[in-house]
């Protein structure tokens, strides 16, 4: 599909929304986004068992991008479980989804959430700006050990072909969090101690 055809489709969606609104019916379009894990720079995986806890509100989170008399609905939370597990598995030795804070079987529980007021998609005929803001907290049985905020940004042409990659804004935020965790937790390891020498039961990060 060429750019002119894509622009015509996007314009048609805007006009269709306007038509529905004039008849008293607002309309919403589901953005066909898909998020896949970003590759992060190679490095030692930390010897920690990490459970990723994603709440139902986070899993179901949708961002609404307004267009004249209508909106595009972005299901940013839908692909987060797979993205989070695949991304954090590049940093930690053992990563799995959990349904509750399981501190018996995991050293850390990582909880990602969307910063809804800061997340937005701005659509125009010439470009689409996607900004996904997220918060990440890592806790052990004693409480929160680490918490930081990250964002993923994308700017694409204003055509329908671009929608498929907009979910990567979520992936970029998760990748930034994973790299920061690796840097912060690795720096807490006693100098000269190899990664494999730190048993989970006496982890350096818990001290």
> What does the chain come to in residues?
207
Q: Encode the chain (207 residues) as per-residue pLDDT tens digits.
A: 444 444 444 544 544 444 444 434 568 999 999 999 999 999 889 999 999 999 999 999 999 999 887 999 999 999 999 999 999 999 999 999 999 999 999 999 999 999 999 999 999 889 999 999 999 999 999 999 999 999 999 999 988 788 999 999 999 999 999 999 999 998 765 444 554 444 443 454 554
Rounded CA separation 89/4 (Å):
41
In CATH, what number does 3-190 get? Answer: 3.40.50.10610
Q: Do residues 52 and 97 lie in contact, with contact meaning Cβ atoms separated by under 8 Å?
A: yes
Token pair listed for 194: 């190899």
Rounded CA separation 145/131 (Å):
27
Token pair listed for 26: 């607002």
pTM: 0.81
């Amino acid at each position: 599909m060429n750019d002119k055809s894509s622009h015509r489709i996007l314009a048609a969606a805007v006009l269709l929304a306007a038509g529905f609104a004039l008849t008293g019916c607002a309309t919403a379009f589901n953005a066909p986004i898909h998020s896949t894990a970003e590759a992060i720079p190679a490095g030692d995986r930390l010897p920690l068992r990490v459970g990723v806890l994603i709440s139902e509100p986070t899993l179901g989170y949708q961002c609404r991008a307004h267009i004249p008399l209508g909106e595009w609905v972005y299901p940013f939370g839908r692909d987060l479980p797979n993205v989070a597990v695949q991304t954090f598995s590049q940093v930690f030795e053992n990563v799995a989804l959990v349904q509750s804070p399981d501190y018996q079987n995991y050293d850390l529980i990582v909880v990602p959430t969307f910063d809804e007021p800061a997340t937005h998609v701005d659509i125009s005929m010439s470009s689409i700006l996607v900004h996904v803001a997220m918060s990440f907290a890592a806790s052990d049985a004693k409480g929160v050990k680490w918490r930081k905020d990250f964002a993923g940004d994308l700017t694409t042409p204003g055509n329908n072909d671009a929608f498929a990659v907009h979910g990567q804004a979520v992936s970029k935020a998760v990748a930034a969090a994973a790299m920061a965790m690796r840097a912060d937790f690795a720096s807490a390891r006693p100098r000269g101690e190899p990664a494999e020498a730190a048993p989970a039961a006496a982890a350096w990060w818990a001290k």
